[in-house]
């Protein structure tokens, strides 16, 4: 397991590279050029700037999250060709600086969705919260109006340029079914994966968060069956998954550890975090500890360990603790604690394996 940590870039993150460097066992940053709109080719100059900064701290830049997919690709419009070409050029450039994994998602219009970025937990910390009924009740048009009035409601990953065109987007998706989305994803993969393979970069789709349709928009990377279908769309080791325990774990029917066991060789990148789910479908992000949430993090790490997981892992989101002011879900403290929990489990499993081998040899 190779531990990495998401960093939003100089001037765009409260966490600094020298802080990241001091988290035990972290070898690299998970990065992106967040100011480049989806669909555009990433400029080499900016890519090199990131490499220079990371190099200075001895951190690698092998994992990118995300190179976002233009809506025209998800919608299957003929204009997608130009955006797919740009995507290929970006893959080639990233390979030149040593990138090994590109995380992306195929969620129409929105990336992750929450109703409260600062919901208080029993211990006084705050965390990202999803109130199911509130989202279910929202009419897409009402959402468009609210976002124009309160732009601060947007989240990291919701690129402003996409949201500006929200009402047009809802209109465009009106006739796009789940099957259409599957076809558009297949079309994209058939073009991208050969380029990724030539450049030795693993493409790793992030599951939908939450893993069910929202605002009447289709969502397809949601469960075991669909991940299995996804992997067969282009059956190639360069077509993989960013297995996100928190996103998939928001649905109690998803057993993430089982997915690790089933798809191990197609997971180049693991997002590991916990969520507590309530009976009414609400969920809140908790500490990584298994007993704090509904997701069995110990079993998930055990599943990775059993499979000799040598891919990248990051703690994904954390709570906001000790008064830290940070990007929602992306503070330093709780994510660093999460890493120590993950290493604690991993190291104990490594030790047990060594001791068992040793006993077997005697």
Q: Which of the residues are catalytic?
A: 206, 244, 271, 316-317, 330
Q: CA 155 to CA 117: how far, in whole Å?
A: 9
Would you say 212 or 348 has its CB closer to ligand DNO? Answer: 212
Query: In the window 215-244, what residues touch ligand DNO (CB under 6 A)?
Result: 244
Binding mask 270-309 for ligand DNO (x = CB under 6 A): -x--------------------------------------
Q: How far is the CB of 164 from ligand DNO (least distance, A)?
A: 20
Q: Provide the β-strand partners of residue 319.
A: none
Would you say 39 or 246 has its CB closer to ligand DNO? Answer: 246
Would you say 140 or 246 has its CB closer to ligand DNO? Answer: 246
Binding mask 303-342 for Mn ion (x = CB under 5 A): -------------x--------------------------
Q: CA 302 to CA 317: how far, in whole Å?
A: 20
65 binds Mn ion (CB under 5 A): no
Query: In the window 190-209, what residues touch ligand DNO (CB under 6 A)?
Result: 206, 209
Distance of CA 165 to the CA centre of its chain: 24
Q: Kindly give the residue spans of alpha helices, DSSP state H, lying in the chain.
A: 17-21, 44-56, 71-75, 80-96, 132-137, 140-149, 160-163, 166-173, 178-198, 224-233, 245-249, 256-263, 297-306, 333-361
111 binds Mn ion (CB under 5 A): no
Q: CA 145 to CA 85: how far, in whole Å?
A: 34
* Strand 283-285 versus strand 275-277 pairing type: antiparallel
Question: Position of tokens 């030790």?
Answer: 351
Among 13, 62, 71, 111, binds ligand DNO (CB under 6 A): 111
Binding mask 245-274 for ligand DNO (x = CB under 6 A): -xx-----------------------x---
Token pair, residue 25, equals 């066992």
Contacts of 60 (CB under 8 A, 6+ apart): 4, 27, 28, 29, 54, 98
Query: In the window 144-163, what residues touch ligand DNO (CB under 6 A)?
Result: 157
104 binds ligand DNO (CB under 6 A): yes
61 binds Mn ion (CB under 5 A): no
Q: CA 189 to CA 66: how far, in whole Å?
A: 16
112 binds ligand DNO (CB under 6 A): yes
Would you say 107 or 195 has its CB closer to ligand DNO? Answer: 107
Would you say 47 or 204 has its CB closer to ligand DNO? Answer: 204
Cis amide bond preceding 68, omega within 30? no
Q: Which stretch binds ligand DNO (CB under 6 A): 101-109, 140-148, 164-172, 227-235?
A: 101-109
Residue 130 near which of ligand DNO, Mn ion, none (CB within 5-8 Å, type-dependent): none
Q: Count interface residues toward ligand DNO (CB under 6 A).
A: 15
List Cα–Cα distances, 116 to 122, 282, 324, 328, in angstroms: 16, 11, 17, 10
Q: How far is the CB of 273 from ligand DNO (least distance, A)?
A: 7
Q: CA 278 to CA 63: how far, in whole Å?
A: 33
Q: Provide the β-strand partners of residue 205.
A: 104, 241
Query: In the window 247-306, what residues touch Mn ion (CB under 5 A)?
Result: 271
Would you say 169 or 244 has its CB closer to ligand DNO? Answer: 244
How many of the other CB atoms lie within 10 Å of CB of 124? 9
125 binds ligand DNO (CB under 6 A): no
Q: CA 296 to CA 288: how far, in whole Å?
A: 9
Of residues 268, 125, 156, the one with CA closest to residue 203: 268
Would you say 272 or 321 has its CB closer to ligand DNO? Answer: 272
Site residues, ligand DNO (CB under 6 A): 65-66, 103-105, 111-112, 157, 206, 209, 244, 246-247, 271, 316
Site residues, Mn ion (CB under 5 A): 244, 271, 316
């Amino acid at each position: 397991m190779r531990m990495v940590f998401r960093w939003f870039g100089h001037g765009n993150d409260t966490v600094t590279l020298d802080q990241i460097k001091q988290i035990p066992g972290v070898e690299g940053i998970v990065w992106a050029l967040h100011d480049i709109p989806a669909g555009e080719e990433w400029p080499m100059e900016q890519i090199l700037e990131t490499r220079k900064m990371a190099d200075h701290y001895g951190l690698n830049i092998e994992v990118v999250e995300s190179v976002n997919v233009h809506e025209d690709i998800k919608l299957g419009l003929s204009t997608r060709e130009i955006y797919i070409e740009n995507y290929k050029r970006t893959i080639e450039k990233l390979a030149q600086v040593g990138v090994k994994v590109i995380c992306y998602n195929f969620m129409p219009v929105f990336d992750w969705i929450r109703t409260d970025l600062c919901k208080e937990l029993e211990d006084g910390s705050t965390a990202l919260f999803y109130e199911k009924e509130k989202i279910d009740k929202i009419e897409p048009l009402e959402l468009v109006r609210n976002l124009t009035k309160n732009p601060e409601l947007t989240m990291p990953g919701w690129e402003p340029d996409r949201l500006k065109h929200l009402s047009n987007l809802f209109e465009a998706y009106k006739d796009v079914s789940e099957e259409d989305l599957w076809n558009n994803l297949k079309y994209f993969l058939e073009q991208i994966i050969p380029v990724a393979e030539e450049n030795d970069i693993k493409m790793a789709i992030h599951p939908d968060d939450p893993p069910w349709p929202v605002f009447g928009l289709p969502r397809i990377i949601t469960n075991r069956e669909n991940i299995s279908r996804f992997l067969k769309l282009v059956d190639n080791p360069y077509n993989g998954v960013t297995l996100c325990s928190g996103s998939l774990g928001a649905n109690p029917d998803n057993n993430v550890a089982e997915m690790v066991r089933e798809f191990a060789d197609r997971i180049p990148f693991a997002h590991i975090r916990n969520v507590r789910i309530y009976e009414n479908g609400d969920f809140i992000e908790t500490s990584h500890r298994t007993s704090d949430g509904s997701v069995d993090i110990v079993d998930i790490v055990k599943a990775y360990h059993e499979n000799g997981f040598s891919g990248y892992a990051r703690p994904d989101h954390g709570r906001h603790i000790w008064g830290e002011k940070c990007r929602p879900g992306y503070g330093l403290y709780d994510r660093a604690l999460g890493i120590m929990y993950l290493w604690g489990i991993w190291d104990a499993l490594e030790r047990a394996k060594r001791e068992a081998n040793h006993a077997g040899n005697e």
